[in-house]
Amino acid sequence: MTWGLPMTDLRWWHGAVIYQIYPRSFQDTNGDGVGDLPGIIERLDYVAGLGVDAIWIAPFFKSPMADFGYDVADHRAVDPLFGSMADFDHLLERAHALGLKVMIDQVPSHTSAEHAWFRASRESRDNPKADWYVWADPRDDGTAPNNWLSIFGGPAWQWEPRRQQYYLHNFLSQQPDLNFHQPAVRAAVLDNMRFWLDKGVDGLRLDAINFCFHDAGLHDNPPKPPAQRTGRGFSPDNPYAYQYHLYNNTRPENLAFIEAVRELLDRYPGVAALGEISAEDSLATLAEYTTGKRLHMGYSFELLTDDFSATHIRDTVSRLDAQMHGGWPCWAISNHDVERVSSRWGGNQPSAPLANLLTGMLCSLRGPVCVYQGEELGLTEAEVPYEALRDPFGIAFWPRFKGRDGCRTPMPWLPGPHGGFTTGTPWLPVPPEHLQLAVALQERDPASALNGFRTFMHWRRQHPALRAGTIQFMATPEPVLAFTRHTADETLLAAFNLSDTPITLPLVVAGTPRALHGHGLPDGVLERGQLQLPAYGALFAALDTTRHEEARA
């Protein structure tokens, strides 16, 4: 048997629970309707009380906000919308005092069109930053140089009259792609990372890290058969799904840059890199990007789909686990880009027991996990009317795809006006149904999703196997997901009923099970080879494998 990591070899990110904060929607302190850094500081005691290990803060850098901060105009400045650099320094100090690690986003592959680098680059073909972005001449008929498409719809090329050339944008036209074939660009991007590492952040979440390099030959992407036009947000409604994206991202040259990132981070003990990866085969790319001296962790989207089944979860996690060689996966079932999991997997009326089951299941998988703000409350996807939409992705694809605003509505802290998020008008409306899930109400209800979340997180810390152990799945029928987690000192069995109906099935385990309680989920029972799980219930059991191993000997 291959054992998990000894506790003495653990780093803070091994098996960590990372709480994702979307600053615009967390807490507003100045009444402008947009969350800010002082608001995060105000709520850090709440976050620490959840029992999580770290926070990941989405971009708060200076930006025209075309993509709400993922279009960076100055990598080293806090946008006044969110506060000041002094606020960030205070946030970092306060988080560390509470025992929380702090990760921040870095957006290496592109900038805002308002960035000083791009404003210089677009002026001419012979200025010092002329080749800092991906520029290309038109075809003879004036059309774009190739068939590459933007994730947000339409061609990935925008005409620039100053240069009489097109520039590449894999995302919005206001997000021009940097030319990573230019060494000065790579050096500048690393230098921006160094700025924040010198400030004392504990980790970097690297947005769209596999999009840094493009094919210098600008070859056309091959077409994808209709049956394969699927993926996160890339339904047949989006032309992006019509291609295999072989040339505009996930290029082999990117591996050397990732190794350079790791070399930089290794100069800062205790700092980790988490790469966001969305590729043709994201699991294979994730494994490749976390091999050896590359990224510490990889983050993919396979559990952010509509497929809520034991088979999908088991196959996804086990397939990646088989490919990993020293790196760590990072799992998530919600984030700021997809429909909230309570609605995506729970339908129109999800319950607190489902929310707690999902927390227990996610946080029992091997590797660190990212928990999106509001997940601990069981928040549902908000129905945002067209006239209130802010997301350009949703506006472009309405009504077939409503964009990302429904998962970005403000946190409900109180059951009163705007959920206690702001004294002004919130940038997105707070749905009335979220007010019934407000933190203040849930804190008073022992059976709430919030109290269930806290109970499980604090219980989880008592079991090293859930943080450091290897994982081995068991062959169970739907809707049961079962696996063991192993370290040299502890072997745990975890089994989850993903349905709202009690279930009984035979289950044979290697060892003598001793049920563990106090995790906050409805308790299952394993007796005489029969597993009984209540609706949305779970069984956690310590396995004494001593007698089993002696019998085998």
Q: What is the pLDDT of residues 493-530, one digit of tens each?
A: 999 999 999 999 999 998 899 999 999 999 999 999 99
Residue 45 — pLDDT band, cuts 50, 70, 90?
very high
d(CA 458, CA 193): 33
Q: Is the pLDDT of residue 179 over 70?
A: yes
d(CA 273, CA 13): 10
d(CA 486, CA 521): 21
d(CA 78, CA 63): 9
Q: Hey, what are 235's tokens?
A: 């339904």
Question: What is the pLDDT at residue 504?
Answer: 98
Residue 8 — pLDDT band, cuts 50, 70, 90?
low
d(CA 337, CA 58): 12
Residue among 547, 494, 553 nearest 524 (CA): 494
In 10 A of CB 464, how many CB atoms?
Answer: 21
H or E element in which residue 146 lies: none
Please state the rounded mean pLDDT for residues 320-349: 92
Counting residues of the chain whose pLDDT is more than 90, the rounded percentage is 91
Q: Is 207 designated active site?
A: yes
Burial of 263 by CB count in 10 Å (0-12 exposed, 13-18 middle, 19+ buried)?
Answer: exposed
Q: Is the pLDDT of residue 430 over 60?
A: yes
Sorted by sequence, the CB contacts under 8 Å of residue 456 that are 6+ apart come out as 356, 359, 360, 363, 519, 520, 521
Q: Is the pLDDT of residue 7 over 90?
A: no
Q: Hey, what are 44's tokens?
A: 């850090």
Question: What is the pLDDT at residue 398?
Answer: 92
Q: Is 281 designated active site?
A: no
Query: Beta strand 165-168 with 157-160: parallel, antiparallel or unpaired?
Result: antiparallel
Please state the rounded mean pLDDT for residues 1-14: 69
**Higher confidence at residue 189 or residue 347?**
189
d(CA 444, CA 138): 63
Annotated catalytic residue: which of 207, 321, 376, 381? 207
Tell me which of 7-11, 134-138, 361-365 is least confident: 7-11
Sorted by sequence, the CB contacts under 8 Å of residue 227 that are 6+ apart come out as none
Residue 4 — pLDDT band, cuts 50, 70, 90?
low
- Residue 513, SS3 per DSSP: strand
- Residue 116, SS3 per DSSP: helix
Residue 348 — pLDDT band, cuts 50, 70, 90?
confident
Burial of 520 by CB count in 10 Å (0-12 exposed, 13-18 middle, 19+ buried)?
Answer: buried
Please state the rounded mean pLDDT for residues 14-37: 98
Q: Are 281 and 301 in contact (CB under 8 A)?
A: no
Q: Is the pLDDT of residue 102 over 80?
A: yes
Annotated catalytic residue: which of 177, 276, 302, 391? 276
55 beta partners: 19, 102
Q: Are 448 and 472 in contact (CB under 8 A)?
A: no
Q: Are 176 and 168 in contact (CB under 8 A)?
A: yes
Residue 347 — pLDDT band, cuts 50, 70, 90?
confident
The tens digit of pLDDT for each residue in 252-278 reads 999 999 999 999 999 999 999 999 999
Question: What is the pLDDT at residue 498?
Answer: 97
Cα atoms in the Cβ-side hemisphere of radius 13 Å centred on 52: 29
- Residue 75, SS3 per DSSP: strand
Query: Beta strand 203-206 with 101-106: parallel, antiparallel or unpaired?
Result: parallel
Residue among 443, 451, 440, 431 nearest 352 (CA): 451
Q: Are 357 and 536 in contact (CB under 8 A)?
A: yes
Torsion of CA 315, 318, 323, 326, to 10 degrees: 150
d(CA 240, CA 306): 19
Which domains are seen in the chain, by residue range? 12-110+184-460 (3.20.20.80), 468-552 (2.60.40.1180)
Q: Is the pLDDT of residue 235 over 80?
A: no
The tens digit of pLDDT for each residue in 322-335 reads 998 888 999 999 99
- Residue 290, SS3 per DSSP: coil
Question: What is the pLDDT at residue 3?
Answer: 45
The tens digit of pLDDT for each residue in 73-94 reads 999 999 999 999 999 999 999 9
Q: Is the pLDDT of residue 547 over 70?
A: no
Cα 42 to chain centroid, rounded: 23
